[in-house]
Amino acid sequence: MTSSLLKRPLQLTLHPQDVLPEGMSWRLHEGYVRSATWDLEGESITLGLWAPGYLITSEDPVINPLELQCLTTVVVEHIELDTSEQLKHLLRERQMLAELLTIQRIRSGDLRLLTLLSWIGQAHGQVNSHGCRLSLSELNLTHRSLADICGLTRVTVTKLLSRLRAEGRLVAIGDSDLLIPSQL
């Protein structure tokens, strides 16, 4: 066996709902991952949504427990973070936490959900002059997972999505894509 084979980094392909091994750092090549913890009642708290190209880690977490859960089929590569990569990751993680906390503090449920969808769309969708398009199926985001992220119930999310579509604040495109129109 050659030494180059021995030095190949660990690569994993995981399926939706799988959890990345703890205490390791990864480069996300394909798919989407949610970082999460739980409150005292066992309710999930989303800490971040990670897309291809990001570095994700559960090494030395500030919050315990910390879980990196696959939203979709995911391909990751184990990496050793150097100091600059650690700093870059911490800054992005801090920014994402602040953005999610700000969204979760919006009192109005419809505005909270619309802001969350816009945030997800800006980060993981397609932005053009008409607005922001995002695919809930590509991200494997169900009404339940949207509810978990923004602190609403699944029933409330379903009702709000219907109302926002009826009001034209969201436009359904196909079965699972949404357009969040630009504000005029």
Give the residue from 93, 57, 95 showing the smallest Cα distance to 78.
57
Domain range for 16 is: 1-105
Q: Considering 59, 87, 105, which residue would you say is the last residue of a domain?
A: 105
- Strand order from edge to edge, sheet including 177-181: 126-128, 131-135, 177-181, 171-173
71 and 116 inside one domain: no
**Burial, 9: exposed, middle or buried (Cβ in 10 Å; 0-12, 13-18, 19+)?**
exposed
User: What pTM value is reported for the model?
Assistant: 0.87
| Cross-strand partners of 146 | none
CA dist 92 → 37, 51, 78 (Å):
18, 12, 19
Q: Considering 83, 105, 127, which residue would you say is the last residue of a domain?
A: 105
Tally of structural domains, the chain: 2
Buried b (16+ CB within 10 A) or exposed e, 92-122: ebeebbebbeebbebeebbebbbbbbbbbbe
Neighbours of 32 (CB within 10 A): 23
25 and 70 inside one domain: yes
Q: What is the pLDDT of residues 75-123, one digit of tens each?
A: 999 999 899 988 998 999 999 999 999 999 999 999 999 999 999 999 9
Residue 184's pLDDT band, with cuts at 50, 70 and 90, is very low
87 and 50 inside one domain: yes
Residue 49's pLDDT band, with cuts at 50, 70 and 90, is very high
98 and 113 inside one domain: no
Q: Considering 80, 105, 130, which residue would you say is the last residue of a domain?
A: 105
141 and 166 inside one domain: yes
Sequence-ordered list of residues with C-beta below 8 angstroms from that of 155, at least 6 positions apart, any chain:
none
What CATH code is carried by the domain that includes residue 140? 1.10.10.10
92 and 155 inside one domain: no
